[in-house]
Amino acid sequence: MSSYPGSVHAGSAHARSVNAGPAEPAPTAGRRRRVAILGSTGSIGTQALQVIAEHPDEFDVVALCAGTNAALLAEQVRTFTPAVVGMHDDDAAQQLRRILDESPVPASDQGRAPEVLSGAEASERIAGEAEADVVLNAMTGSIGLRPTLAALRAGATLALANKESLVVGGALVKDAVQRPGQVVPVDSEHSAVAQALASGRHERGLCSLTTNGTSEVRRLVLTASGGPFRGWDGQALAAATPAQALKHPNFAMGLMVTTNSATMVNKALEVVEAHLLFDVALADIETVIHPQQYIHSLVEFHDGSTLAQAGPPRMLVPIALGLSWPQRLKSIDTPIDWTHPMQWDFEPLDQEAFPAVSLAKQAASTSATHMAVYNAANEQAVTAFHAERLPFTGILAVVEQVLAAHTGTSEAQADLDAVLAAEQWARSTADRLVQTGGVG
């Protein structure tokens, strides 16, 4: 990407906490934000482009990146005219080049057709070199770690849907953060917590109060749908099929996050994500089952007050906030209709049938690479489950056994190579357990 030179966003203040304080004034005031989307063909990526299409005066799409879906990426190129695009898969990138050659796209703002990058480094290069104000990381899996680090090191605001990169990278990601507020959570629960912590700005009226800061926070409470298997016991879960696991009660999402919702691994990753984003102790992060998912999460303060963020169970608002934080864009979603009766339920998590959250809290407290191992083993096990090589309950059994065999790495030694090595070890150990049937 020779024509897209490296970082132009020189950051200075070093922050240990990912979301340590109020954001600095937006360097983009008065002009359209330059946005790069990694994972543009997925559930989050396509919704982000929908938000952008409806707010053309707010954003310029400077780069798009996907894995394999050349046809959809080509369509997106036509509509949004990014200067550079990337595909992980080399064959898909060739296909994309062919489609674009056969039917040239309008020249981009830079006055030429997009450059097409391909291969494993495409997303990392785009994150680091596209000169985006905001990089939305909406890829699936811990493959998002390098791009997350690259975006932060380039000084871009990171709109983070790819929770895996933060959970797996941990301190590495924290260390790459250059300024408070550089990471804006897109995950709905964390967007809810961020909104509750920041509250709204409304400097009018007799009561023009604003409160802020995390020092008065006692607990975070993350809501969970409970997934398609809410209320099932261990015996029923053992026979759960991939098709059943993919029936999320409220959201249409990618395969990995949907399956993780069914096992509660998604909530487990989210607890650690919240710990890292908001610097709240793991012991002070609770989960509660809320099947309707209208409350996206809650912050409990030390005076006993609790702030909840509510909205329909859709991702448009968290995505839009990720792109435009701290501003709210108008009319992103239809608000809750209070004219009809409705019921919101809350129930405790069944920790025995769904041990994922407690296992993650334990892993995250054990060593700097335990969550990388947790996530990598889970990714392998989920793939094996969908290939019908592992029962549903085998997913957590694999994660637990791989974790038990991991020796761990101290934070001081957990550089990128150590994290990637731990992941690689976890993937092959998980695969071996599946192959030999040694899960039990």
Ligand X SMILES: CC(=O)[C@@H](O)[C@H](O)COP(=O)(O)O
Per-residue tokens: 360? 């993650």
Closest CA to 245 of 402, 393, 43, 438: 393
Smallest gap from residue 55 Cβ to Mn ion (A):
23
Interface residue with ligand X, options 165, 182, 225, 393 (CB under 6 A): 225
**Cα–Cα distance measured from residue 176 to residue 18, given in angstroms and rounded to the nearest whole number:** 9
CA distances from 183 to 102, 301, 350 (A): 39, 23, 32
Whether 267 has a binding-site annotation, put simply, is: yes
Smallest gap from residue 317 Cβ to ligand X (A):
11
Residue 267 binds ligand X, judged by CB under 6 A: yes
Smallest gap from residue 270 Cβ to Mn ion (A):
5
Residue 315 binds ligand NDP, judged by CB under 6 A: yes
Interface residue with Mn ion, options 60, 89, 133, 187 (CB under 5 A): 187
Residue 145 binds ligand NDP, judged by CB under 6 A: no
Closest CA to 80 of 104, 117, 109, 111: 109
The one-letter amino acid code at 192 reads A
Closer CB to ligand NDP, 141 or 181, in the complex: 141
Residues touching ligand NDP, count (CB under 6 A): 30
Radius of gyration of the chain (CA): 21
Q: Which stretch binds ligand X (CB under 6 A): 18-26, 223-231, 384-392, 401-409?
A: 223-231
The secondary structure of residue 398, as a DSSP letter, is H
Residue 139 binds ligand NDP, judged by CB under 6 A: yes
Interface residue with ligand NDP, options 176, 257, 321, 439 (CB under 6 A): 257
| Cis amide prior to 326 (ω within 30 degrees) | yes
Interface residue with ligand NDP, options 33, 36, 45, 217 (CB under 6 A): 45
Residues touching Mn ion, count (CB under 5 A): 3
Closer CB to Mn ion, 95 or 142, in the complex: 142
- The helix/strand/coil state of 182 is coil
Closest CA to 395 of 435, 430, 428, 420: 430
CA distances from 229 to 130, 245, 291 (A): 42, 8, 11
- Count CB atoms within 10 A of the CB of residue 217: 19
**Cα–Cα distance measured from residue 433 to residue 255, given in angstroms and rounded to the nearest whole number:** 22
Spell out the alpha helix ranges (H) of 222-329. Answer: 234-238, 242-245, 255-263, 265-278, 316-324
Residue 259 binds ligand X, judged by CB under 6 A: no
Smallest gap from residue 115 Cβ to ligand X (A):
33
Interface residue with ligand X, options 81, 266, 309, 383 (CB under 6 A): 266
Site string for Mn ion, 189-208 (x = CB under 5 A): x-------------------
Q: Do 173 and 149 form a contact (C-beta atoms < 8 A)? A: yes
Interface residue with ligand NDP, options 33, 35, 36, 39 (CB under 6 A): 39
Whether 163 has a binding-site annotation, put simply, is: yes
Where are the extended beta strands (E) located within 102-156? 115-118, 134-137
Q: Restricting to residues 64-123, which ones interact with ligand NDP according to CB under 6 A?
A: 65-69, 88, 123
Residue 273 binds Mn ion, judged by CB under 5 A: no
Smallest gap from residue 121 Cβ to ligand X (A):
28
Q: Do 22 and 212 form a contact (C-beta atoms < 8 A)? A: yes
Q: Which stretch binds ligand X (CB under 6 A): 59-67, 91-99, 259-267, 350-358?
A: 259-267
Residue 224 binds ligand X, judged by CB under 6 A: yes
Q: Which stretch binds ligand X (CB under 6 A): 32-40, 68-76, 187-195, 422-430?
A: 187-195
Per-residue tokens: 210? 């604003």
- For tokens 């391909």, the residue is 118
Annotated binding site for Mn(2+): 187, 189, 270
Interface with ligand X (CB under 6 A): 187-189, 224-225, 227, 251, 257, 261, 266-267, 315
